[in-house]
Chain A
Amino acid sequence: MSTVIPSSPEPKASLKARILGTPSAGPFLVLLAFGLIFALTNPRFLATHNLSIILQQTVIIGVLAIGQTLVILTAGIDLAVGAICVLGTIIAGKMVNLGYDPVLSMGFAILVCTAAGLSAGGLISALRLPPFIVTLGILGILTAALRLISAGGAFAVRDPFLAWTGNTLKLGGFVLTYGVLIMVALYAIVWYLLNETKWGRHVYAIGNSPEAARLVGIPVRRHLLSVYLAAGLIYGIGAWLALGRIPNADPNAMQTANLDSITAVVIGGTSLFGGRGGLIGTLIGALIVGVLRNGLTLAGIDPLWQDLVTGILVIIAVALDQMSRRRN
C-alpha cells in the first residue's frame, strides 16, 4: 500500500538537497540570473552607485511587503497596503505643515496606520469576513477619505525629520540611506519573530490549518488581530520611508503598491494559500523587481516591458507553488 522509505534513522541531508529544499533558493537563483544578464550587458549595472540606487528604490515596496508577507502567511491578503501607507504620509505631512512637532506628527501617523491595520484585523477576526473584502473596503474608504482631507491635491512636506530617512551615509564606500538601514533592520526583526518565536510559529500554523491551530489551543482570532496590527505598524513606518524618498504627500500616490507588494511576496516563494514561505524570499522578491526595473531602464528598454516581465514572473511563481502543493 505505502512504499517503505529505506533510510537510516536520521539521514543527513546532502548539501544539494538542503539548498533545493530551501524555499528561497529558487527566487535567489532568479535574482542571480537577472543580475548576471544585466551585469554582462551593461558595465554600469554593477557600479556601487547603481546598486545603491536599486536598494533605495526597493525600500518602500520592500518594507510594505513585510506586512504583506505576514498577512499572506495567514492565508489572507492585504489590498489596503498602499492606502494605509499614504494615509501615514498625509497625516504626518498635514500635522507638520500645521506646525506640530515633527516627531510627534510622525509618531501619530504611525499610530493611525497601526489602528487602520487593527481595524482590518478586527473585522476579519471578529466578524470572520474574508480579508480580501475587508481590505478592499478599507482601500475604498481610505482613498476617498484621503482625497477629501487633502482637498484632492498633493502638497510638499518640508521637514528635516520627516525627510531624514532619505539622508545618505557612507558605509565602506557604499552610499546608503537611513531608509535602507531601517528596511534591513525591519527584515531582521520580523524574520526573528517569524522563525524564532512562538508567535511566528503560530502564524504559520494558522495559515496551514486554522482548524488544527484551534484544536491545539492557539487563540486563532486574537493571533490574526496581532498580525494585522503588526502589518499596520509596518505600513506606518513605510510612510516615513516614503516621505524620505519623495518629500511629498500625495493622496493619489502608491496606487500600484498593493500589487507590487503582493508581487514581491509571491515571487519570493510565499504561497498565496498561506502557511508556506517566508521573509527572506520576500526580500529577494522585492530585489528581483527592483533589479528588473533598474536593469531594463539602464538598457533603455520601454518601462512597459518591466510590468510585462514582472507579470510573467508572478504567474510562474504561483504556478510553481500550485504544482508543489498538488504533488503533496
Chain B
Amino acid sequence: MSDVNNSQSMATTSAPIVLEARNVTKTYGHVTALAGVDFELRAGEILAVVGDNGAGKSTLIKALTGALHPTSGEILLDGRPVNFKGPLDARHAGIETVYQDLAMAPALDIASNLFLGRELRAPGILGQVFRRLDKKRMREEARRAMSELKFRLPSIDNPVEALSGGQRQGVAVARAALFARKLVIMDEPTAALGVRETGQVLELIRSIRERGLAVVLISHNMPNVFDIADRIHIMRLGRRAAVVTPKTHSMNDVVAIMTGAATA
C-alpha cells in the first residue's frame, strides 16, 4: 500500500530542514517529560509524530510552538535559533497550529472564523479612520481558500456550529493553511471524525503539502499515519526512538518501536 501514496516523498529526503530541535529537555521537578529529544521537519513533507501516551509527543509539540519553554536544548527555524515566548510568537514566525478543540467561535460564520484575530480592514478612510472591516474581501478570500483546498462547504456564511465535525475541522485546517508561511502543526485532526470525514481531512492535509508547506501530524491512528505521512517520528520515553518511512517499515514495526519491543 505504501508505494501508491507518497508521490512527493522522494523529494523530501533532500529538502532543506524547516524546523529542528536539538537535544531538547523539559523537566517538571523530578518528572522528565523530554529527555533530550531531536526533531527535524523537512520542507514540503508530512511528518507524523507517534508515540504511546506519556512518551512526550504533546510536550514536544508545545515546545516547538512556544506553548512551553524547554528546560534546555535548541530550537531552530530555517537554521536560525528561535526563542518563542508564546504561541503568538510562533504564529508570527509562520507556524500555524490546529488545536484539538479547533479554537473557533461557534456562532460566528466561517469567514469570520477564518480571519478571527487577523481581520482585514477596508481600504482608505473607511478602514483607517472608521476601522471598518472588509467583510466582502474576507468572504472572497475565505471562499478562495476553501476552493483551493478543494474543500466543499454548503455556504461560507454559515455559522461554524451549523457544520459537521469534519467540516469544522476543514475550516480549522483551512485557516492554518491560509496563514501558515512555513509549516502547519495538527494535533489529532481526525480523532473525532467518521470514516468519510477522516478521508476529507486527510485530503486537505495533502493539499497543504501540495502548496509547499510542511506538516507535522500528531496522531494515534496508525492507518491514517501510514496513509499520508512521508516520514514517521517515533517518540519513546521522552526521546526520539527512531524516524522511519511507511515504505521501509510496517505498522507492526512502528508499534514495536513505540513500545520498546524493537529498535529501528
Contacts and interface: CB of A to CB of B under 8 A. Distances in A.
Asked if A pairs with B, the answer is yes
B156 A10 contact: yes
Interface in B81-119: 87-88, 91, 99, 101-108, 112, 116-119
Interface stretch (A109-117, A191-199, A306-314): A191-199
Contacts of B103: 209, 211-212, 215-216
A201 B108 contact: yes
A238 B147 CA distance: 49
Interface string B129-154: 01111010000000100010000101
Interface in B125-179: 130-133, 135, 143, 147, 152, 154-157, 161-162, 164-166
A195 to B, nearest CB: 9
A7 B165 contact: no
Contact of B116 (A192, A216, A275): A216
Interface stretch (B38-46, B192-200, B232-240): B192-200
Interface in A174-216: 192, 196-199, 201-202, 204-205, 208-209, 211-213, 215-216
A172 interface: no
A7 B154 CA distance: 6
A199 to B, nearest CB: 7
B117 A216 contact: yes
A5 interface: yes
Contact of B119 (A201, A215, A328): A201
A209 B105 contact: yes
A208 B107 contact: yes
Nearest to B152: A9
B131 A199 contact: yes
Q: How large is the interface on B (under 10, 10 to 19, 20 to 34, 35 or more residues)?
A: 35 or more
Interface in A1-50: 1-3, 5, 7, 9-11, 13
Interface residues of A, number: 30
B252 to A, nearest CB: 28
A209 B106 contact: yes
B121 interface: yes
Contacts of B164: 2-3
A99 interface: no
Contacts of A199: 131
Contacts of B143: 10
Given A2-B165, A216-B116, A198 B133 contact: yes
A3 B104 CA distance: 22
A10 B116 contact: no
Contact of B112 (A201, A209, A211): A201
Nearest to B156: A10
A123 interface: no
Nearest to B105: A208
A2 B117 contact: no
Contacts of B135: 196
Most chain B beta-carbon neighbours within 10 Å: one of A3, A11, A276: A276
A217 interface: yes
22 contacts: A1-B196, A1-B197, A2-B166, A9-B147, A10-B143, A196-B133, A196-B135, A197-B131, A198-B121, A208-B105, A212-B101, A212-B116, A213-B116, A215-B103, A216-B103, A216-B117, A217-B88, A217-B91, A218-B116, A275-B105, A276-B107, A328-B162
Given A10-B143, A197-B131, A198-B133, 11 more contacts: A2-B196, A201-B112, A209-B104, A211-B101, A211-B103, A212-B105, A216-B103, A216-B116, A218-B117, A275-B107, A275-B108
